[in-house]
Amino acid sequence: MDTDTRDAIEASHVDTDALVGWMDDTGSDDVEDAEDRYLGSADSLVEWAEQYADDTGMLDGMPSDLRYYFDYALWMSDATFGGDLHVIRTPDGRVHVFHN
């Protein structure tokens, strides 16, 4: 990794371990691209999904009594295995989510 990339990682708003993990997994050294793809973090992937759905209003059109049946774990399984999302687990136990 060159000095410019290291400097960009240190200056990034994205968690360093998550950013380095994403770069290792994807083979990219484009910090700006990783920052653009970064969707946030949480203690678990389901927690992240619930917060994302709430923040984006994804389920707003669904009747409130049906929202309880939405399966966040299945949604995240499909999104990660289908390649829509890239998840990095950092040593502190948090998950960091990037869109592909």
CA-CA-CA-CA dihedral for 41, 26, 83, 53, to nearest 10: 20
Q: How many domains does the chain have?
A: 1
pTM: 0.89
The answer to whether 88 touches 18, Cβ cutoff 8 Å, is yes
In the chain, what percentage of residues exceed pLDDT 90? 81
Task: Please state, as a whole number, how many other Cβ atoms lie within 10 Å of the Cβ of residue 80.
Answer: 15
The domain of 14 spans 3-99
What are 25-63's pLDDT values in tens digits? 999 989 999 999 999 999 999 999 999 999 999 999 999
Give yes or no for residue 1 having a pLDDT over 80. no
CA distance 100 to 77: 15
Residue 81 has pLDDT above 90, yes or no: yes
Query: If we measure between CA atoms, which residue out of 91, 92, 86 comes closest to residue 40?
Result: 86
